[in-house]
Amino acid sequence: MAEVGRNVPNTIAKAPITFAMIELADSADCNARKSQWLSYGFKDVTPKFSGRSTVPSLNGSMVAPGRDMLKEMASVAADWYMISGHHGALYESDYDRFNTADGAMDVRRITNEEEYCGFFNEAYHESYWEHAARDHHDAVDLPGTPANSIYLRTTDAAPAAIASHDQGNPVFDSTSWAPAPKGIIISACNTLAYRSARKTWSGYFPNAVIIGPISRIVTGTWVSSAVASAQATNESFWRDPQSVLDQAGMCEQLEKQLTAGFPRTGRIGLIYKTTLYQPDGSSVPADSAL
């Protein structure tokens, strides 16, 4: 409803659609999506770092100043966020806690019960995260701890003390008054496979559209490609996804389109208003076990 005055000029305008990105690892997917959004005329409000035009990466040499950027991310009030990086359990050795009786890895238990999970940068593959254990979380005593380790928790379960490095996740900054984003696109393995992560995402953003893998992925561009190929993601969707997805059957339709654009070796999911929509056409409460 436009509230207009008589006999005075009134302007009815469209606000630009804004986006911001957090990149923890390979930036190919973020740069692809950034180019696409810019071509749509969207406005990039990602905090600028060192005047770089590419998506700011928290990997490698950009890590230290990247921490300052993370704090700024909470305040840019973007319509859409894209978060990219590695995602998994805090310590891979914790997987042993969920073995079956005969000692085999129980993946279902891991995804349903592991609570200490989040995003990592490349240090995830450089011994620190994979070989340490939660019982030895004092990083100071850990040999070979990479100086540029980053862990952004995606659950409320992981206590601050368990990770030695700054683990503030700007997207989960509940103290910020920044408005909740309209949508969040996650480009990382298994993000929505973890029950605790789904619970956190849907708990913090009960009205946001959340798109992410519920399986391992070979490359983050899978997610960008799937989103780009979904016909439902037109201007109306980007501008006001809630009004689109609130219509009967639209969540199922979007999930179907995302799946059609996703390689069959992976699975992509959609969380909207605390419900997880899955590739097989089913939907369950986001915080339920799979």
- Contact positions toward another protein, by CB under 8 A? 1-18, 41, 43, 45, 75-77, 177-179, 236
As a whole number of angstroms, the distance between CA 95 and CA 126 comes to 18
Closest CA to 241 of 198, 210, 204: 210
Quote the least distance from Cβ 2 to another protein, whole Å.
5
Q: Environment class of residue 287 by beta-carbon count within 10 Å: exposed (0-12), middle (13-18) or buried (19+)?
A: middle
Pick 11 or 144: Cβ nearer another protein: 11
Quote the least distance from Cβ 79 to another protein, whole Å.
8
- Cα 71 to its chain centre, rounded Å, is 16
Quote the least distance from Cβ 74 to another protein, whole Å.
11
Quote the least distance from Cβ 253 to another protein, whole Å.
17
Tokens 């921490």 sit on residue: 67
Quote the least distance from Cβ 244 to another protein, whole Å.
12
Q: Are 43 and 17 in contact (CB under 8 A)?
A: yes
Pick 80 or 128: Cβ nearer another protein: 80
Read off the tokens for 146. Answer: 């990479």
Pick 54 or 234: Cβ nearer another protein: 234
Quote the least distance from Cβ 249 to another protein, whole Å.
19
Pick 18 or 27: Cβ nearer another protein: 18
Pick 79 or 255: Cβ nearer another protein: 79
Quote the least distance from Cβ 241 to another protein, whole Å.
13
Quote the least distance from Cβ 77 to another protein, whole Å.
5
As a whole number of angstroms, the distance between CA 161 and CA 222 comes to 34
Pick 103 or 179: Cβ nearer another protein: 179
Q: Are 172 and 151 in contact (CB under 8 A)?
A: no
Tokens 């561009």 sit on residue: 221
Which residues, in sequence order, are CB contacts of 155 under 8 Å at separation 6+?
Answer: 115, 116, 117, 118, 194, 196, 197, 199, 200
Read off the tokens for 199. Answer: 């619970």
Pick 15 or 160: Cβ nearer another protein: 15
Read off the tokens for 246. Answer: 């609130």
Pick 11 or 50: Cβ nearer another protein: 11
As a whole number of angstroms, the distance between CA 213 and CA 119 comes to 13
Which residues, in sequence order, are CB contacts of 223 under 8 Å at separation 6+?
Answer: 29, 185, 186, 187, 211, 212, 213, 217, 262, 268
**Torsion angle of the four alpha carbons 73, 76, 79, 80, in this order, in degrees rounded to the nearest 10:** -20
